[in-house]
Amino acid sequence: MQFTAAQIAMMINGKVEGNAETTVASFGKIEESVSGQLAFLANPKYEEYLYSTGASIIIINESQELKKEISATLIKVPDAYSAFATLLEKYQQIQRQQLTGIQQPAYISASAKIGDNVYIGAFAFIGDHVVVADGTKIYPNAYLGNHVTIGNNCIIHPGVKIYHSCKIGNNVSIHAGTVIGSDGFGFAPQADGTLKKVPQIGNVVVEDNVEIGANTTIDRATIGSTLIKAGAKLDNLLQIAHNVEVGNNSVIAAQSGISGSTKVGNNVMIGGQVGIVGHIKIADGSKINAQSGVSKSIKNPNSAVTGSPAFDYTAALRSQAASRNLPSLEKRVIELEKLLKEMMVKSNS
């Protein structure tokens, strides 16, 4: 597919400077692009390549000051990074719209309801009373258990497993190997030392515009729903336990785990390898630094914490600075003790 600078500018509400009929057929990094490719500049560290790149079209910020002449056609926008993301999304949508139909072999229950313009890949399993809405793409080897509901324009990548009765909203993307709705980790200790499994009879509800990375697990609720709210973005290799709630537009990085019944607020940012205990609340706008261990509720909105156990980020930095000075402080104390001892000897003589 080829697009002109004018067509691209229309897609991202940009302003063309140069030849509006210049065409591109692919994307490239600004430091590596060749003729016929489109690149973008958002990070000032790459500004030098603006003047040497072979790209035919470059998306740049309106605020970018040009220091030399540029042979490429420019498209100026308020935010080049966001504009480029929008363009990639539109390009991806065009590609996916071409993917429709049901490949064989695939199992689709007679009671399942399949919408228009749906793609179902080979070896997919669609259980009883499943609903797959319009425009959704289900890639090979995916599994949808009985009574699962999938909204419009979702992407279920290869090998995703969605257990029975779970509900997925609209415009949700779930990447390969993720498991939605496996049993929560609930066991009741018995008098004889054994552990009795607590049946997990709830489900998982994923609201609209959520993205879930590869090989993530989201456990079904014991009773009720484990809830991933609209706009949340979950990375690869996460563990979300039973009855957890993740708030609107919250972001969780890879290898983090959230224990059962914890409520994560809206617009929370959680770094990689964070561990959060169960039955606590994380206030809206909280920021949790990578590898932190959160053992109690974060009550104040927009707080930043770090460490294990996690505590206030600014206080933690001061503590780290103080700890680095301990060797010199010890030396000064020894010198003061020596000086004090000499003064005492003089005063007694």
> What mean pLDDT is reported for the chain?
94
Q: In the predicted model, is pLDDT for residue 327 greater than 90?
A: no
Strand-strand pairing, 167-168 and 257-258: unpaired
pTM for the structure as a whole: 0.80
Residue 148 and residue 203 share a domain: yes
Task: Average the pLDDT over 203-211 and give the result.
Answer: 98
Domain span at residue 46 reads 3-97
Residue 75 and residue 119 share a domain: no
Residue 143 and residue 36 share a domain: no
Task: Average the pLDDT over 167-183 and give the result.
Answer: 98
Q: Which of 72, 97, 122 is the last residue of a domain?
A: 97
Rounded Cα distance, 309 and 326, in Å:
22
Residue 92 and residue 107 share a domain: no
255 Cα distance to chain centroid: 12
Rounded Cα distance, 239 and 180, in Å:
11
Q: Which ranges in 52-156 belong to alpha helices (H)? A: 80-97
Q: Catalytic residues, which ones? A: 242
Looking at residue 270, what is its pLDDT? Answer: 98
Task: Average the pLDDT over 181-208 and give the result.
Answer: 96
Looking at residue 117, what is its pLDDT? Answer: 93
Residue 37 and residue 165 share a domain: no
Q: Please tell me the total count of domains within the chain.
A: 3
| Beta-carbon-side half-sphere exposure of residue 120 (alpha carbons within 13 Å) | 24
State the angle between helix axes of 313-324 and 326-348 in degrees (0 to 180), rounded to the nearest 10: 50
Residue 168 and residue 79 share a domain: no
Among 110, 106, 131, residue whose Cα is nearest residue 120: 106
Residue 110 and residue 71 share a domain: no
Residue 175 and residue 93 share a domain: no
CATH code of residue 176: 2.160.10.10
Q: Which of 82, 97, 112 is the last residue of a domain?
A: 97
Residue 120 and residue 84 share a domain: no
pLDDT cut 90: percent of the chain above it: 83
Do 169 and 150 form a contact (C-beta atoms < 8 A)?
no
Residue 336 and residue 274 share a domain: no
Looking at residue 317, what is its pLDDT? Answer: 77
Rounded Cα distance, 302 and 328, in Å:
36
Residue 181 and residue 241 share a domain: yes
Looking at residue 201, what is its pLDDT? Answer: 97
- The predicted-structure confidence for 30-59, as pLDDT tens digits, reads as follows 999 999 999 999 999 999 999 999 999 999
Q: Which of 97, 129, 147 is the last residue of a domain?
A: 97
Q: How confident is the model at residue 311 (pLDDT cuts 50, 70, 90)?
A: low
Residue 310 and residue 175 share a domain: yes
- The predicted-structure confidence for 87-120, as pLDDT tens digits, reads as follows 998 888 777 777 889 999 999 999 999 999 999 9
Rounded Cα distance, 117 and 158, in Å:
18
CATH code of residue 81: 3.40.1390.10
DSSP string covering 235-272? -SS-EE-TT-EE-TT-EE-TT-EE-TT-EE-TT-EE-T
